[in-house]
């Protein structure tokens, strides 16, 4: 039977049971089969509200899936439903720019990262049909705007792959890739002894699982993953189960060290960026049209959640799917870029808007001790 999948996110009912460690004793066991409620929202003080500005727009219907920020603050953006890769030029304050199509793949384009300066890896998967999945290398070191690009397929994933999604680096040559259908993380060694990238399962856990029999189907399991090197933790979202999780990484072997633990729950989280200095993550909610600020410390997420953007609702932030820090001086922790699908996955009032690239200014936070 062909597996179906949507990169969107929606609350679900859960049909299994597993143990989650961490947070507090009251939430260590999550009973599946019960609807997981949203975290209670707190009113955002004006000084904590993020400021949004539109950098670029895409026509309807464009599902902007993932992005990476280059050293000059230009962006590379993957488009799921068009199988495309786009370039977004650097934009000044309150300036809008025109995106440029770089390449069209033969499969939907999903995760993207920069492994070394101007060398990128892009994931593609036949999400809706055969589930064949690939990794492509794109070298932009000598590229100039207006000249063609030529991504090279460097890896075909094992047949058990389902739908590649977000990805991150553990080291400059070791990549982790979330698989939203298989419910696991792949490890890709970019520079093995034989010279060609290789993939193997890094971790499979119930918290990553797709839930095919829930009343609202087609929601991804594990969605995005990012590594916090200062504390050696790998953080990930699991959309269908509405979980934000982490697992410790052995810094020597790069293997998982222990059982995944619950950081927070109750929202349809998608991609995120981490501010290790302040000890928080900013996480997009694809169908709930917000960006939430969550502590990286499980013990600090017992109170009401804080949506720093999207509450009250704003027409700019419909279907946010990915977010990444800017790379200008002093931008880490303050300025980020986000992309949206314009409500293609979950239309607001039945209407699909233009997909957007946004620049976000977050309020300054104290460095976590």
Over residues 261-282, the mean pLDDT reads 96
So what's the pLDDT on residue 367?
66
So what's the pLDDT on residue 12?
28
Q: Please report, for the domain that includes residue 113, its CATH number.
A: 2.120.10.30
Query: Among all chains, which residue has been given the structure tokens 């058990």?
Result: 160
Give per-residue pLDDT as tens, 95-104.
899 999 999 9
Task: Give exposure, 277-305, as e/b (b: 16+ Cβ within 10 Å).
Answer: ebbbbbbbbbbbbbbbbbbbebeebeeeb
Lowest mean pLDDT among 109-118, 133-142, 185-194: 185-194
- Which 8-state DSSP code applies to residue 249? B
d(CA 90, CA 60): 23
Note whether residue 289 is domain-resident.
Answer: yes
With CA atoms as reference, report the closest residue to 83 among 97, 96, 100, 102: 102
d(CA 48, CA 41): 14
| Token duo for residue 232 | 């050696």
Give per-residue pLDDT as tens, 169-178.
999 999 999 9
d(CA 231, CA 242): 24
Question: Where does the pLDDT of residue 128 fall: very low under 50, low under 70, confident under 90, or very high at 90 and above?
Answer: confident
Over residues 222-248, the mean pLDDT reads 97
Compare 9 and 124 and report the one with higher pLDDT.
Answer: 124
Contact 327, 73 (CB under 8 A): yes
Over residues 333-357, the mean pLDDT reads 95
Residue 342: pLDDT above 90?
Answer: yes
d(CA 259, CA 263): 13
So what's the pLDDT on residue 215?
52
Over residues 142-155, the mean pLDDT reads 97
Question: Where does the pLDDT of residue 303 fall: very low under 50, low under 70, confident under 90, or very high at 90 and above?
Answer: confident
d(CA 188, CA 205): 18
Residue 88: pLDDT above 70?
Answer: yes
- Give the largest Cα separation in the chain, rounded: 57
- Which 8-state DSSP code applies to residue 39? P
d(CA 199, CA 30): 31
Lowest mean pLDDT among 16-20, 180-184, 189-193: 16-20
Compare 275 and 45 and report the one with higher pLDDT.
Answer: 275
Contact 221, 208 (CB under 8 A): yes
d(CA 232, CA 249): 5
Note whether residue 16 is domain-resident.
Answer: no
Residue 48: pLDDT above 90?
Answer: no
So what's the pLDDT on residue 216?
52
Over residues 331-354, the mean pLDDT reads 95
Note whether residue 143 is domain-resident.
Answer: yes
Over residues 199-213, the mean pLDDT reads 93
Note whether residue 252 is domain-resident.
Answer: yes
Note whether residue 36 is domain-resident.
Answer: no
Q: Which range is most confident: 19-23, 45-49, 130-134?
A: 130-134
Note whether residue 294 is domain-resident.
Answer: yes
So what's the pLDDT on residue 218?
72
Over residues 268-295, the mean pLDDT reads 96
- Which 8-state DSSP code applies to residue 316? T
Residue 46: pLDDT above 60?
Answer: yes
So what's the pLDDT on residue 180?
96
Q: With residue 109 as reference, give the H or E element that holds it.
A: strand 109-116
Pairing of strands 51-58, 355-361: antiparallel
Residue 141 CA: distances (Å) to CA of 117, 184, 196, 234, 238:
7, 32, 20, 29, 34
Residue 252: pLDDT above 80?
Answer: yes
d(CA 116, CA 242): 33
End-to-end CA, the chain: 51
| Token duo for residue 111 | 């995760």
So what's the pLDDT on residue 30?
33
Domain count, the chain: 1
Question: Where does the pLDDT of residue 120 fall: very low under 50, low under 70, confident under 90, or very high at 90 and above?
Answer: very high
Contact 69, 335 (CB under 8 A): no
Where does residue 154 fall: left (phi above 0), alpha (psi -120 to 50 degrees), or beta otherwise? Answer: alpha
Q: Which range is most confident: 13-22, 46-55, 257-266, 341-350?
A: 257-266
Give per-residue pLDDT as tens, 2-33.
334 344 433 222 333 333 333 332 222 232 33
Which residues constitute the domain of residue 136? 48-361
Contact 140, 119 (CB under 8 A): yes
Residue 366: pLDDT above 90?
Answer: no
Note whether residue 100 is domain-resident.
Answer: yes
d(CA 28, CA 26): 6
Question: Where does the pLDDT of residue 356 fall: very low under 50, low under 70, confident under 90, or very high at 90 and above?
Answer: very high
Note whether residue 159 is domain-resident.
Answer: yes
Over residues 197-221, the mean pLDDT reads 86
Bridge partners of residue 362, in order along the sequence: none
Over residues 300-308, the mean pLDDT reads 88
With CA atoms as reference, report the closest residue to 292 among 2, 4, 41: 41
């Amino acid at each position: 039977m062909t597996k179906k999948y949507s990169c969107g996110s929606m609350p679900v009912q859960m049909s299994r049971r597993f143990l989650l460690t961490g947070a507090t004793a009251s939430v260590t066991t999550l009973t599946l089969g019960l609807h997981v409620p949203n975290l209670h929202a707190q009113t955002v003080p004006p000084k904590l509200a993020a400021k949004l500005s539109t950098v670029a727009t895409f026509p309807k219907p464009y599902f902007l899936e993932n992005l990476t920020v280059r050293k000059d603050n230009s962006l590379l953006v993957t488009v799921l439903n068009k199988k495309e890769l786009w370039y977004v030029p650097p934009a000044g304050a309150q300036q809008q720019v025109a995106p440029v199509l770089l390449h069209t793949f033969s499969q939907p384009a999903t995760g993207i990262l920069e492994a070394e300066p101007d060398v990128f890896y892009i994931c593609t998967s036949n999400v809706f049909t055969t589930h064949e999945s690939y990794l492509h290398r794109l070298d932009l070191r000598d590229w100039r705007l207006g000249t063609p690009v030529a991504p090279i397929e460097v890896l075909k994933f094992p047949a058990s792959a389902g739908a590649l999604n977000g990805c991150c680096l553990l080291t400059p040559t070791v990549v982790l890739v979330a698989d939203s259908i298989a419910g696991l993380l792949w490890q890709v060694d970019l520079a093995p002894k034989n010279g060609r990238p290789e993939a193997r399962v890094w971790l499979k856990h119930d918290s990553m699982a797709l839930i095919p029999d829930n009343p609202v189907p087609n929601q991804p399991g594990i969605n995005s993953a990012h590594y916090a090197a200062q504390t050696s933790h790998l953080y990930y979202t699991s959309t269908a189960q509405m979980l934000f999780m982490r697992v410790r990484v052995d810094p020597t072997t790069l293997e998982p060290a222990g059982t995944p633990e619950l950081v927070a729950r109750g929202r349809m989280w998608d991609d995120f960026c981490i501010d290790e200095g302040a000890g928080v993550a900013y996480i997009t909610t694809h169908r709930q049209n917000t960006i939430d600020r969550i502590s990286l410390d499980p013990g600090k997420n017992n109170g009401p959640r804080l949506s720093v953007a999207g509450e009250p609702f704003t027409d700019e932030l419909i279907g946010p799917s990915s977010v990444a820090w800017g790379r200008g001086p002093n931008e880490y922790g303050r300025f980020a870029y986000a992309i949206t699908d314009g409500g293609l996955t979950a239309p607001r009032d039945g209407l699909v808007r233009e997909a957007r690239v946004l620049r976000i200014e977050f309020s300054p936070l104290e460095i976590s001790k």
